[in-house]
Each structure stands twice: as structure tokens, then as C-alpha cells.
């Protein structure tokens, strides 16, 4: 059985899809590569040929077979995308695998960049105004001003309950650190889980990404207004860092070090949401990338909660949440 599982995983590293939907994604893009692609995208907006950072990444990955993509590759890909030949028709591996990587990376990164607006107060008039912007609209899960540390522990063995790989990345921090929504979406899960302790699961508005925030603080893990079905905006405070979990008894601290378990599941078909077909990706480099955008927070007087300083409008909320 073990040999069969290893074989399946190895096959999954090859860029291919079944007749229906993608069954595996090996996400190996570094933070500098992600940042380079986004900067190329942003610099092209307003020009004759605006670029999409996911197209840039997909073409660079197609050339490289998904591994070892460099900043120079993103620059080369941007230049090629300005040409007359569609990427699907480029010769060699680029044309053959571009569509696969475009779909895979579109699922992983689709809601992280684009148009948005930030509400700021004019220091001279004192009036609030909405300032339109384009760029990274996703946030680090750790609020601005709080120390954090993480390491590449995706796939490491865990033994509580049963032996299994660690399907996320742990971010160490101070107890009570405000945890922010990386992307806007709908709260799908909120409550106790014996492995993750107090946890929140948020589904992106396009349904492709499921963000899992676990081991939240004992006694006061979440914002009081959250419930299953609540809508959140990227950068909203959703909970507080803790070390709950590893117990069937609710509200138990059985995790040695306070930390946030951050997981990202990709969903190409609803059958992949739970079961043996789940796709969880290594977020170590993604977390490093998101650290360039951290939500500023402030204490809500008379409460145990923190809230964001600058409100944000994301067109995705209207696009995907309106019946």
C-alpha cells in the first residue's frame, strides 16, 4: 500500500490532468519569483498589453517543468507574452504545458491580486475617502507589528491520533496575536477539531481555495461576530494565535508552542473538498511573499478584540457573493 501511495504522488508531480479535473498540484514557486511576476503585471497595467501575473508564472513553469523557476524566467515569460503567438501555441514544453500550469496556479493564486480600494482619512480635511488601487490585495495571516517565525515543515510527520503528513505550515508567534484573513471569502468551518483545536475554514469566493487557520487561542479564539456563512474581506481580523488542539476535550491547550497552523487546499471539483482526493499545497514561500502586505490593526476599546485600521473594498465580494 505504501509503495502504491508513493507511486501516485510521484505521478502527481508530472503536469497532467485527468479527463475531468486536476488531481495534484506541486506548488514550487519562490517568494522572489512571485513578487517579480506581480511587479511585471502591475507595471504593465494601463499600457497597450497588460499582463497577468498568473500567465507569467504559468509560462515560466511550463518551460521549467514546474521546478527551479527563476526571476529571469518571469522576465522572459513577460516578454514572450507580449508577442503575437498565444502561449498555448508556443513550441516545445511551453505550448504543451501552459494550460495545465495556468489552471493550477490560477486555483492557487487567483484571488490574491487585482483591483481593490482602501478607505483612508485625509489628514487635512479629516474626511474619509476610498482610494482605488491595483496590486496585491491579499494579506499575511499575521497582523502588522507582531513578530513571527516559520519554517518549511509541510509534509513532516505528525503522530497524534494516527501517523500522517503535516498538510500546512506552522507560523510561530506570541499568544493572542491577531490573525487576519489572507483572502476574502465565506466562513465554511468554525469550531473545535481535536487535531486543529479551535479553527476557522474560509472558502474563497470563486470556490477554488480553502484556507485553514488552526490552534487558535483558548477561551477567545475568534471574532465574536463570526459564524458559519459569514463573509470576510482580506485583511479582516478573524481570530487570535494560540496553542489549542490535540485533544477530544474542547478548549484544551495541548500544543507545546503557540503557533498558527496555516493550510491551503485547492479544489478543482467539489469531490476533492473532503476525502482521499484532497490537494493541500506547501505555503512556505507563499507566506514569505504575503509578508510584504500585513494588515494594520487596533484594539477595540472595552473588548478583547482587535480590528483592522483601514477598510478595504474587494470587487470579488460583489462578483461572487451576489445571488
Which parts of the chain are beta strand (E)?
Answer: 113-121, 128-136, 148-150, 157-158, 164-165, 169-173, 178-180, 185-193, 197-204, 209-214, 231-232, 237-240, 259-266, 279-280, 297-299, 306-308, 312-313
The owner of cell 482605488 is 132
Please name the residue ranges forming H helices in 45-148: 53-64, 71-81, 92-109
pLDDT confidence tier of residue 173, bands split at 50, 70 and 90: very high
71-81 and 53-64 helices, crossing angle to 10°: 110
**For 69-75, what is the mean pLDDT?**
98
φ, ψ (nearest 5 deg) of residue 124: -85, -45
Q: Mean pLDDT across the chain, nearest whole number?
A: 92
What is the Cα–Cα distance from 117 to 207, expressed in whole angstroms? 22
Q: What is the pLDDT of residue 15?
A: 47
Q: Which cell goes with 9?
A: 504522488
**For 101-123, what is the mean pLDDT?**
94
- Report the alpha-carbon angle 278-63-204, nearest 5: 35
Helices and strands (H and E) in the chain: how many: 7, 17
**For 259-288, what is the mean pLDDT?**
95
Using alpha carbons, select from 71, 140, 172 the residue that is nearest to residue 288: 140
Q: Which residues of 131-161 are buried (b: 16+ CB within 10 A; e: fewer)?
A: eeeebbbbbbbbbbebebebeeebeeeeeee
**For 210-224, what is the mean pLDDT?**
98
Task: Lowest mean pLDDT of 8-22, 72-86, 135-149, 227-241, name the range.
Answer: 8-22
Q: What is the pLDDT of residue 321?
A: 61
Could you tell me if 282 and 27 are in contact, meaning their C-beta atoms sit under 8 angstroms apart?
yes
DSSP-assigned beta bridge partners for residue 231: 186
Q: What is the Cα gyration radius of the chain?
A: 20
What is the CB neighbour count within 10 angstroms for residue 201?
21
The owner of cell 529571469 is 72
Express each pLDDT in 36-51 by its tens digit: 999 999 999 999 999 9
Domains of the chain: 2-109 (no CATH), 148-321 (2.70.70.10)
Report if pTM > 0.85.
yes
Q: What is the pLDDT of residue 226?
A: 98
Could you tell me if 74 and 60 are in contact, meaning their C-beta atoms sit under 8 angstroms apart?
yes
* pLDDT of 245 higher than 60: yes
Q: Which cell goes with 253?
A: 491547550
The owner of cell 497552523 is 261
pLDDT confidence tier of residue 276, bands split at 50, 70 and 90: confident
Handedness of CA 24, 29, 34, 37 (dihedral sign): negative
Cβ burial of 163 (10 Å; 0-12, 13-18, 19+) is exposed
What is the Cα–Cα distance from 209 to 31, expressed in whole angstroms? 19
pLDDT confidence tier of residue 242, bands split at 50, 70 and 90: very high
3-state secondary structure 185-215: EEEEEEEEECCCEEEEEEEECCCCEEEEEEC
Express each pLDDT in 219-230 by its tens digit: 999 999 999 999
31-44 and 53-64 helices, crossing angle to 10°: 130
Q: What is the pLDDT of residue 161?
A: 87
Q: What is the pLDDT of residue 5?
A: 33
Q: What is the pLDDT of residue 126?
A: 81
Express each pLDDT in 298-311 by its tens digit: 999 999 999 999 99
Q: What is the pLDDT of residue 323?
A: 55
Q: What percent of the chain has pLDDT over 70?
A: 93
Q: Which cell goes with 162?
A: 494516527
Amino acid at each position: 500500500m505504501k509503495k502504491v501511495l508513493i507511486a501516485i504522488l510521484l505521478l502527481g508531480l508530472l503536469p497532467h490532468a485527468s479527463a475531468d479535473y486536476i488531481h495534484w498540484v506541486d506548488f514550487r514557486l519562490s517568494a522572489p519569483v512571485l513578487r517579480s511576476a506581480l511587479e511585471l503585471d502591475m507595471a504593465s497595467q494601463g499600457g497597450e498589453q497588460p499582463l497577468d501575473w498568473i500567465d507569467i508564472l504559468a509560462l515560466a513553469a511550463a518551460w521549467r517543468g514546474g521546478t527551479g523557476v527563476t526571476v529571469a524566467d518571469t522576465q522572459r515569460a513577460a516578454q514572450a507574452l507580449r508577442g503575437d503567438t498565444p502561449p498555448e501555441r508556443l513550441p516545445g514544453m511551453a505550448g504543451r504545458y501552459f494550460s495545465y500550469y495556468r489552471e493550477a496556479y490560477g486555483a492557487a493564486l487567483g484571488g490574491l491580486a487585482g483591483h481593490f480600494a482602501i478607505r483612508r482619512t485625509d489628514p487635512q480635511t479629516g474626511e474619509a475617502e476610498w482610494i482605488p488601487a491595483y496590486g496585491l490585495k491579499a494579506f499575511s495571516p499575521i497582523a502588522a507589528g507582531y513578530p513571527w517565525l516559520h519554517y518549511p515543515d509541510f509534509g513532516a510527520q505528525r503522530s497524534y491520533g494516527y501517523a500522517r503528513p503535516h498538510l500546512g505550515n506552522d507560523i510561530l508567534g506570541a499568544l493572542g496575536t491577531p490573525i487576519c484573513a489572507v483572502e476574502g471569502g465565506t466562513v465554511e468551518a468554525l469550531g473545535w477539531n481535536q487535531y486543529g483545536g479551535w479553527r476557522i475554514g474560509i472558502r474563497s469566493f470563486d470556490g477554488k481555495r480553502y484556507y485553514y487557520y488552526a490552534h487558535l487561542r483558548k477561551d477567545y479564539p475568534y471574532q465574536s461576530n463570526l459564524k458559519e456563512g459569514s463573509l470576510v474581506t482580506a485583511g479582516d481580523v478573524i481570530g487570535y494565535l494560540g496553542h489549542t488542539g490535540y485533544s477530544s476535550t474542547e478548549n484544551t491547550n495541548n500544543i507545546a508552542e503557540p503557533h498558527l497552523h496555516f493550510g491551503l487546499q485547492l479544489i478543482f471539483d467539489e469531490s476533492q473538498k473532503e476525502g482521499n482526493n484532497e490537494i493541500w499545497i506547501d505555503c512556505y514561500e507563499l507566506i514569505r511573499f504575503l509578508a510584504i502586505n500585513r494588515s494594520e490593526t487596533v484594539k477595540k476599546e472595552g473588548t478583547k478584540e482587535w480590528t483592522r485600521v483601514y477598510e478595504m473594498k474587494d470587487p470579488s465580494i460583489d462578483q461572487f457573493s451576489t445571488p
